[in-house]
Amino acid sequence: MEYETPLFFRVMQYADRADRDVIDMVSGNPDWEPPEALREGLGEYADLEPDQFQYPPSEGLHELREEIAARRNVDTEQVVVTNGAGEANYLAMARALERDRGDEVVLTDPVYPYYPGKTTMLGGRQRFVAADETGQLDPADVRDAASEETAAIVVNSPNNPTGAVYPEETIRELVAIAEEHDAILVSDEVYDHFDLSGRFASALGVDSDHRIVTNAFSKSMAITGFRVGYAVFPPHLVENAKSRHMLVNVAGSRPAQYAVLRALRETEPEYYEQSRELLAERVETFTDALEAAGADYTTPQGSFYVMARFEGYPGTLENVERLIDEAGVAGMPGEAFGDSRADWLRFALVTPRVEEAADRLATHFE
């Protein structure tokens, strides 16, 4: 079996090896401070008794699950703490496919490339529905694509790579379509704290046995390397997901869970607000510079990403590598996200040097 390996790591490696200063706008790694309580929690954990260094409960530290459940207004038993949103999406998609109700997974184009990769690995088939130019998804198009063969519909709002935030009506319709076909809506909401539009709607707001919501603290707490995420399952789907989690990973890493629990309890809303404001400023700075350079670009409603198009410079891996060498800016090739964005490049706004990056791009393409 061959999988499609996401290109992220390949581009990052190329940028690391470049023989010049490169502004890294490849992956969604926040460059800002984690919550202070997270550092304190980890430091405190390092001195605990040995019994605290042993297996946590497989489904996650109970108090962490309780904190998550209280915030999401669900039952603690519905929450499985995972190794980041990556494992949460894997468990959710596996759960949808193993019900033997079809093997198609409806995905968007453009798409976050891990989703089609996971689909292949799990023995499913991808069916793509095109988003519009702004990244919005028309539920009517999803309804046309859905059928008895549909096991899951996987969406991501705020969206990577388009920056689109789906309105509540879209989420409500997607749940309804999943219900009509006995499929599962998998709603990956990992950028929920980075909604710049005020329109974000969680799929948990729609009561249904046909949706699984995935999330993580990777972005909201600026700790993509800690690998603490979670999935919220309908009650009748949670047990087998817990079994799969146990059989694959036994449990998630306890020091990371402990630190996140501490941070979740003690971090004030201002922390998240400041991260969002920082991002909003960078969006403005970067898009202003792109505008001045005469490039096409998207203005994200949420998430970390701006897509840009430079005339005669399609978003291929080769062009991304040339841009690293010649302009000192590393982005992601649009083609990694599907045919519809093959002319585009994606830039993650996770560096204080967004203005310099835009200037370098303007100089390079002028």
Applying CB under 8 A, which residues contact its own copies? 1-3, 5-6, 9, 27, 29-34, 39-40, 42-43, 45-47, 50-58, 83-84, 86-87, 90, 98, 100, 114, 117-118, 121, 222-228, 240, 242-244, 246-256, 259
Least CB distance from residue 67 to its own copies, whole Å? 19
Which value, to the nearest 10 degrees, does the dihedral of the CA atoms of residues 69, 75, 76, 81 take? -70
CB-nearer residue toward its own copies: 197 or 274: 274
Least CB distance from residue 51 to its own copies, whole Å? 7
Least CB distance from residue 304 to its own copies, whole Å? 13
CB-nearer residue toward its own copies: 310 or 337: 337
CB-nearer residue toward its own copies: 282 or 293: 282
Residue 200 phi, psi dihedral angles, 5° rounding: -60, 135
CB-nearer residue toward its own copies: 249 or 319: 249
Please report which helix (H) or strand (E) contains residue 73, including its range: none
Q: Are strands 296-297 and 305-309 parallel, antiparallel or unpaired?
A: antiparallel
Least CB distance from residue 218 to its own copies, whole Å? 9
Which value, to the nearest 10 degrees, does the dihedral of the CA atoms of residues 119, 208, 244, 53 take? 120
CB-nearer residue toward its own copies: 211 or 227: 227
CB-nearer residue toward its own copies: 301 or 303: 303
195 and 184 in contact (C-beta within 8 Å)?
no
The label of the residue with tokens 């946590």 reads: 56
Least CB distance from residue 54 to its own copies, whole Å? 4
Q: Return d(Cα 366, Cα 363) in angstroms, integer.
A: 5
158 and 191 in contact (C-beta within 8 Å)?
yes
CB-nearer residue toward its own copies: 40 or 138: 40
CA angle 324, 329, 333 (to 5 degrees): 70
Short-list 210, 201, 262, 199, CA closest to 233: 210
Least CB distance from residue 186 to its own copies, whole Å? 15
Cis-peptide, bond into residue 269, ω within 30° of zero: no
CB-nearer residue toward its own copies: 138 or 266: 266
Residue 2 phi, psi dihedral angles, 5° rounding: -110, 135
Least CB distance from residue 108 to its own copies, whole Å? 18
Short-list 198, 98, 224, 195, CA closest to 152: 98
CB-nearer residue toward its own copies: 81 or 358: 81
CB neighbourhood size of 51 (10 A): 6
Q: Return d(Cα 11, Cα 29) in angstroms, integer.
A: 14
Least CB distance from residue 303 to its own copies, whole Å? 16
Alpha helices in the chain (DSSP H): 8-17, 36-45, 62-72, 84-97, 114-121, 139-145, 168-180, 235-249, 254-266, 269-292, 317-327, 354-365
Least CB distance from residue 288 to its own copies, whole Å? 26
CB neighbourhood size of 70 (10 A): 11
